[in-house]
Amino acid sequence: EVQLVQSGAEVKKPGESLRISCKGSGYSFTSYWISWVRQMPGKGLEWMGRIDPSDSYTNYSPSFQGHVTISADKSISTAYLQWSSLKASDTAMYYCARGYSGDAFDIWGQGTMVTVSS
């Protein structure tokens, strides 16, 4: 079965760092880009950026450039999204998704809820 499995929910304090993960299985991980998508509570979908796992080349949305880092370890078929200093406004559900036919996303992870609160 082709799937993306994300790491579990996180509760953090402002200023803390965090890395969440997305593990692909059932397909060639290096053959498809992985994107990250944010959904704030009760809001719509926002594309954050993507990575080519074959060479770790990244593209970021201007809205997220410099605020997060996307990386990947192809040896374990895992992509990551990380923050060096979280803010309360980072509280959201984060999804990873596989790029298909351009950047249509055919496989999605189950989501990782990140809560940032003092």
Partner 1 sequence: DIQMTQSPSSVSASVGDRVTITCRASQGISSWLAWYQQKPGKAPKLLIYAASSLQSGVPSRFSGSGSGTDFTLTISSLQPEDFATYYCQQANSFLGVTFGPGTKVDIK
- Name the helix (H) or strand (E) containing 88: none
- Residue 39 CB, shortest distance to partner 1, in Å, is 9
Is residue 31 at the binding interface for partner 1, with CB under 8 A as the rule? no
Does residue 110 sit in helix, strand or coil? coil
Pick the binder of partner 1 from 44, 66, 75, 118 (CB under 8 A): 44
DSSP character string of 9-61: PEEE-TT--EEEEEEEESS-GGGS-EEEEEE-TT--EEEEEEEETTTTEEEE-
| Cβ(81)–Cβ(94) below 8 Å | yes
- Residue 98 CB, shortest distance to partner 1, in Å, is 10
Nearer residue to partner 1 within complex by CB, 58 or 69: 58
Nearer residue to partner 1 within complex by CB, 80 or 105: 105
Is residue 77 at the binding interface for partner 1, with CB under 8 A as the rule? no
Pick the binder of partner 1 from 5, 45, 76, 88 (CB under 8 A): 45
In angstroms, rounded to a whole number, what is the distance separating the alpha carbons of residues 81 and 62? 16
Pick the binder of partner 1 from 10, 23, 47, 69 (CB under 8 A): 47
> Which range of residues in 16-24, 71-79, 84-92, 99-107 is near partner 1 by CB under 8 A?
99-107
Does residue 109 sit in helix, strand or coil? coil
